[in-house]
Amino acid sequence: MTEKIIIKDIKEEIWKIREFNDELEVIKDKIIKFYEIQQNLGDSTKKLWISDIKECYYSIISVWELIWGYNGEKDYLESSKQYFYRTQSFCSQSKSELNTFKTEEATDLLSHLNITFDKCFKAYREILNILIPQKVTIKPIKKVIKVSNTEYQILCSICGELAVCFKIGKALFNNEKSLIYAGITHKSSLKKELSTELFNLLEQENFSTIHAFIKKYHVYEGLDAYCPECNDIYCWEHYNPVEEFDDGFYDCTYGTCPKGHRRIIDD
């Protein structure tokens, strides 16, 4: 079966899942109306929370538009996948905000949002699994790649994709060179003077010591792509990061490795 035939067939399925968009729009509008009548909710907070539930809905619409317009372009698939996983974050934030109201109406809305979003998310995931070719998982022979004397990359132990990058360069809003750390949850910088010690650890491919190094000099959570129980590295997709919110504010991100080990990877 050619790609054109596959695309033609999947178009019918993509068109059908509009009903999930409609269901999500209904609950989105109900939540907005609920916020609008809350007299104890400040105007700025009200606008912010209404914006968040709208983001949850419109991010799903963006995914639909991208996959509906897909005709074989890889960029469309990559963008749709990124939007798709971001919807989880938007929805989690909206759920957290709605959960601050301890009323029967809020509880019903929260339940409705959970059910509706889960159905929507499942439908889109099935479509994307068909559209996106399954990667052949080839475990990298060497997990740390020395790109140059000033840049090292750590690869995912499952698929060999880039998980973490350390390099000497200019950080955002800083003209001086520093040691830039780009993990699976965030990008930040450390003192350039630390690069010699870190690069030596990277040469040894000792992930536990690299993790300890990041815990000591940067953040308590350590290397965000690292699973201490596996003593291995996972990319964003294989560490399955999920953001947690508390009263609408970002709390932390949990990562769960393919073996089920779960820990806070960003706080």
pLDDT value, residue 98: 92
Domain with CATH 1.20.1440.210 in the chain: 3-131
pLDDT value, residue 84: 81
Which segments of the chain have a pLDDT < 70? 1-9, 72-76, 133-140, 171-174
User: Which residue bears the tokens 């504010």?
Assistant: 249
The number of angstroms, rounded, from the C-alpha of 173 to the middle of its chain's C-alpha atoms is: 25
Q: The whole model's pTM is what?
A: 0.69
Render 32-92 in DSSP notation, one character per residue: HHHHHT-TTS-HHHHHHHHHHHHHHHHHHHHHHHHHHS-SS-HHHHHHHHHHHHHHHHHHH
* Coil vs helix vs strand at 10: helix
pLDDT value, residue 14: 86
- E strand map for the chain: 144-148, 151-155, 162-170, 177-182, 187-190, 226-227, 232-233, 242-246, 249-256, 262-266
State the CATH architecture for 3-131: Up-down Bundle (1.20)
pLDDT value, residue 2: 40
pLDDT value, residue 234: 93
Calculate ∠ Cα 240-264-98, nearest 5°. 80
pLDDT value, residue 1: 41
